[in-house]
């Protein structure tokens, strides 16, 4: 059964974006999607991801595109800091965490920077946010700060310190939450003097 353009447009306006595979389940073949895009009735926001013609992507459009194609990834470190508005850094790559033995997603655009986390670290402190119809899995504030200290040699201690100071200044976390995250990430010895200086 072929899907009607009106039905697809209504669904996309409600959900934001949808994958081609989901639209195919609703009766919209890929060739039909291509025709609608060429006719200006839909827009293709990423490979295999479609939206209504008047859709205006928000600042997290690249995260939405990644999560639509790789729903298991967790956005972390600089990307999570940016999501939580705790840094002035604007990474040109999307930073994701995957399991130690997981295969990185094969996505050409946007560019990904992949970090491997243990099973416990990958599962703990992850929040789910719905943005433009996609479910984004993002490390919470406390976990993101602890991760920054864990990967301080890759991102810089100054970034980790900025994240810690901003999260405390704007009351986005408690000291207990930070301490718990430090334990999960095994950076208590590194973070302790900085945490003590803030109390």
pLDDT of 44: 83
Nearest-angstrom CA–CA distance, 1 and 79: 41
The residue range of the domain holding 95 is 61-198
pLDDT of residue 58: 62
Write out the chain's pLDDT in tens, 199 residues.
Answer: 457 888 888 888 777 777 788 888 888 888 888 888 888 888 887 777 888 888 766 678 889 889 988 999 999 999 999 999 998 777 778 999 999 999 999 888 788 999 999 999 999 999 999 988 789 999 999 999 999 999 999 999 999 999 999 999 999 999 999 999 999 999 999 999 999 998 7
The pLDDT assigned to 110 comes to: 83
Regarding whether 74 and 47 lie in a shared domain, the answer is no
pLDDT of residue 177: 97
Burial class (CB in 10 A: 0-12, 13-18, 19+), 182: buried
Q: Look up the pTM and report it.
A: 0.75
What distance, in Å, lies between the first and last C-alpha atoms of the chain?
A: 64
Q: Are residues 140 and 117 in the same domain?
A: yes
84 and 120 in a single domain? The answer is yes
| Same domain assignment for residues 166 and 107 | yes
> What sign does the CA torsion over 137, 171, 158, 147 have?
negative
Contacts of 142 (CB under 8 A, 6+ apart): 125, 167, 173, 177, 178, 180, 181
pLDDT for the residue 107: 86
For residue 160, the model assigns a pLDDT of: 95
What pLDDT does 1 receive? 45
- 23 and 89 co-located in one domain: no
Q: Are residues 158 and 93 in the same domain?
A: yes
Both 161 and 93 in a single domain? yes
Q: Degrees (nearest 5) of the Cα angle 168, 173, 179?
A: 95
Residues 180, 84 share a domain: yes
Same domain flag for 28 and 106: no
Helical packing angle, 175-184 and 141-150, nearest 10°: 50
Give the residue from 52, 72, 87 where a domain finishes.
52
The domain total for the chain is 2
């Amino acid at each position: 059964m072929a899907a009607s353009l009106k039905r697809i447009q209504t669904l996309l306006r409600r959900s934001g974006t949808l994958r081609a595979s989901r639209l195919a389940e609703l009766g919209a073949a890929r060739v039909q999607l291509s025709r609608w895009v060429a006719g200006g009735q839909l827009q293709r926001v990423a490979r295999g991801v479609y939206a209504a013609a008047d859709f205006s992507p928000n600042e997290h459009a690249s995260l939405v595109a990644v999560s639509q194609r790789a729903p298991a990834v967790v956005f972390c470190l600089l990307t999570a800091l940016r999501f939580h508005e705790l840094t002035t850094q604007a990474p040109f790559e999307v930073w994701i965490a995957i399991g130690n033995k997981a295969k990185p997603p094969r996505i050409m655009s946007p560019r990904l920077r992949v970090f491997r986390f243990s099973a416990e670290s990958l599962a703990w402190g992850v929040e789910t946010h719905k943005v433009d119809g996609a479910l984004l899995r993002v490390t919470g504030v406390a976990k993101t700060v602890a991760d920054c200290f864990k990967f301080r040699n890759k991102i810089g201690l100054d970034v980790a310190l900025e994240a810690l100071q901003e999260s405390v200044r704007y009351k986005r976390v408690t000291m207990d939450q930070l301490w718990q995250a430090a334990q999960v990430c095994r950076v208590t010895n590194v973070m302790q003097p900085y945490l003590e200086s803030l109390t």
